[in-house]
Structure 1
Amino acid sequence: MGLMIRDPRSGRTGGRRSAPARGAVRVTPPAPRSWPRLSMPSWQGAGQRLQQWLWPLLLVILGMGLYELYHRLQPLAQHPISTINVEGDLQYIDRDSVQQIIAPYMDESLVTIDLEQLRADLLGMPWVAGATVTRIWPDRLVINLDEHLPIARWGDSALLNNAGRAFSPERIDRFQGLPLLNGPERAKRRVMQTYQQFNRLLRPYGHEVARLEMRDRGSWFLTTRSGIEMLLGRDDVVEKMQRFLAIDKLMLADRRELIARVDLRYSNGMAVAWREPATVEMGSNE
């Protein structure tokens, strides 16, 4: 019997078709699916166009701002400084000398003045330990000066401040009442620190340092204001001073004016040389 197949696309009835071979399967691939094309939202396109002309606009605005700033500052660059204020607790700095340092800068403007050079000129003055220079718009300058605080003499031609820094004022003769310190040039700070330690130890007991010397080999020599000379050696000088003070409090306080020299170089004692010919040794060596 034949098989009639109707073709739905043509509406016609086809002729007889033979049956396909046993086991054969005919597969018709599906037609490719066409995806809808996505279009960029209109607001994103507008954002890109905005960026294209926004940066040139910002550059134009910046240029106009700089141009306006230049024209506003130009008169200040030509306007001389009207006032220079010098501040600080000044006891030794000569104000006339400060005026001489400042005078060449008076014709400068606040914009063109070289603040670093002015500060360097001020620091070159003997008594100036620190200086700051500040612009105050539109035409004022403020200078703040810090003085050296003299604590002791260093040799015959310099003074030491409380940080152990040496400086050389013109008239050092008026500071003869300050303690005299000596030592290698490289040891200024150490000598000052040791002097301060000794003063803190001695003052509660009625002693003061009049002279302190550190010699080349590191040995220390001290003289009190009452004239007592102390030989401290090189090591453990603070402990040796504490030993002297303990013995001084117990045995020597009533006879200090008779003491000429104290030798503290012993490991566990000390020797006292009196102003009289006799010498008394005191220690724990028994």
Structure 2
Amino acid sequence: MLGLLIRDQRAGKAAGRRNAPNRGAVRVTPAAPRKWSRLTLPSLSEARRRMQHLLWPLLLVMLGMGLYELANRLQPLAQRPISLISVEGDLQYIDRDSVHQRIEPYLNDSLLTIDLEALRADLIAMPWVAGAAVTRVWPDQLVITLDEHLPVARWGDSALLNNAGFAFAPDQVNRFEGLPLLNGPERAKRRVMQTYQQFNRLLRPYGHGVAQLELRDRGSWFLTTRDGIEMLLGQGDVVEKMQRFLTIDKLMLSERRELIARVDLRYSNGMAVAWREPATIQSGSNE
């Protein structure tokens, strides 16, 4: 007779656990990931700096070699004497032979060794030269540009004045006797020239002109017209006084102008007229 054997599986498992030998607990840890070193590329600015450090010495060497080669090529030209000097300018009074005499000591110099400032100073020292410019033209030429004094009036007996009131003393001043004669203290040349120009602008529309103008030591002005009329203007407000004379001249004196010998404008609101004839009249408040 077969018997039935029934096993409790849970009990079997439990029994198995109880009977298992105690071998200790073993913990298995996963392996740490391997770290790889990264390759970092330099930044753009850092690369540029490194490139500059490498290129600068090379560029300096190349520049030095180029300058050395250029100097060797230019040396023969630098030693070449000046072959052509051109003198330019609207010259009416400057003597070209005198200019050549000033230039002659510099003809043996080369274009690079010539002293331009010294040559310019020698040219400026000439009586008629108001300004001078000296320019190099490669490889062996000089261009000289001269500005000339334009005489406007005589200053005393031995000099002329240009329109800026600058006095210069050329030879043969007596050739310019047709110019107005101006006189005054040496320090007052420019002031006398400016006053002359003012009077000339006032007188010209009325048919008058300045023949002589003098600033005397005490500051009073004395003028002679081209008609021979002497004018005593005094010290102050000389332009206003001249305008007063022109107004009265237009109203009363224009038809008898040739008979006027002298006009005294030193009055505050009138003038006195001296005639070439013995008669003397006054106009304005002193009439």
Give the structure 2 partner of residue 107 of structure 1.
Answer: 108
Query: Counterparts of 1:57-96 in structure 2 under 5 Å?
Result: 57-96=58-97
Q: How does 1:232-247 map to 2 (within 5 A)?
A: 232-247=233-248
Counterpart code for 1:247: I
Q: Give 1:280's aligned amino acid.
A: I
- How well do the aligned residues superpose, as a CA RMSD in angstroms? 2.0
For residues 111-135 of structure 1, give each alpha carbon's deviation from its aligned partner in whole angstroms, at most 9, with x where no partner exists: 1111111100000000000111111
1:103 counterpart SS class: helix
Quote the Cα distance in structure 2 between the aligned partners of 1:191 and 1:37. 94
Q: What does residue range 171-190 of structure 1 map to in structure 2 within 5 Å?
A: 171-190=172-191
Q: Any idea what the Cα deviations from partners look like across 1:140-180, whole Å, max 9, x if unmatched?
A: 11111111000000011110001110000011010111100
Aligned equivalent of 1:52? 53
**CA distance in 2: counterparts of 1:36 and 1:148, whole angstroms:** 91
2:190 alignment partner AA: R
Distance, in Å, in 2 between the alignment partners of 1:223 and 1:38 is 104
**1:116 matched residue in structure 2:** 117
Q: SS at the partner of 2:227?
A: coil
The number of aligned residues is 256
TM-superposed CA distance for 1:65, in Å, is 1.6
Q: Distance in 1 between matches of 2:129 and 2:217?
A: 31
Q: Return the offset for 1:51.
A: 2.8
* 1:27-38 equivalences in 2 (<5 Å): none
Q: Is the 8 A contact 2:271 2:286 kept in 1?
A: no
Q: Which amino acid aligns with 1:108?
A: D
Q: Distance in 2 between matches of 1:201 and 1:46?
A: 79
The residue type equivalent to 1:41 in the other structure is L
Cα deviation code 1:50-90 (max 9, x no counterpart)? 33321110110110121122112211221011100111111
> Could you say which residue in structure 1 is the equivalent of 2:13?
none
Change (3 A) 1:249 1:65: same
Q: SS where residue 277 of structure 2 aligns?
A: coil
Does the C-alpha gap of structure 1 residues 256 and 111 become closer, same or farther in structure 2, counting only changes over 3 Å? Answer: same
Q: Matches of 1:36 and 1:250 in 2, distance apart?
A: 116
Q: In the alignment, is the contact (CA less than 8 A) between 1:76 and 1:111 conserved in 2?
A: no
Give the C-alpha shift of residue 105 in structure 1: 1.0
SS state of the match for residue 152, structure 2? strand
Secondary structure, in 3 states, of the residue corresponding to 1:198?
A: helix
- Looking at structure 2, the residues matched to 186 and 129 of structure 1 have their Cα atoms a distance apart, in angstroms, of 20
How far apart, CA to CA, are the structure 1 residues paired with 2:200 and 2:36?
96
**What corresponds to 2:228 in structure 1?**
227
Q: What is the percentage of aligned positions where both structures have the same residue?
A: 77
User: Matched residues in 1 for 2:56 and 2:72: separation?
Assistant: 25
Taking structure 2 as the reference length, what is the TM-score of the superposition? 0.84
1:151-166 → structure 2 map (5 Å cutoff): 151-166=152-167
Q: Cα offset for 1:43?
A: 6.3
Counting only pairs closer than 5 Å after superposition, residues 251-270 of structure 1 correspond to structure 2 as 251-270=252-271
Partner of 2:10: none
Asked whether the 8 Å contact 2:264–2:273 carries over to 1, the reply is yes
For 1:124, the aligned partner's letter is A
Unaligned runs of 5+ in 2: 1-23, 28-34
Structure 1 residue 202 displacement after superposition: 0.6
Q: How many angstroms does 1:42 deviate by?
A: 4.6
For residues 225 and 48 of structure 1, what CA distance do their matches in structure 2 show? 83
Give 2:41's aligned residue. Answer: 41
Residue 203 of structure 1 aligns to a residue in which SS?
helix
TM-score, normalisation: structure 1: 0.85
- Residues 272 and 286 of structure 2 are in contact (CA less than 8 Å); yes or no, is this contact kept in structure 1? no
Amino acid in structure 2 at the alignment position of 1:91: Q
Unaligned runs of 5+ in 1: 1-9, 14-34
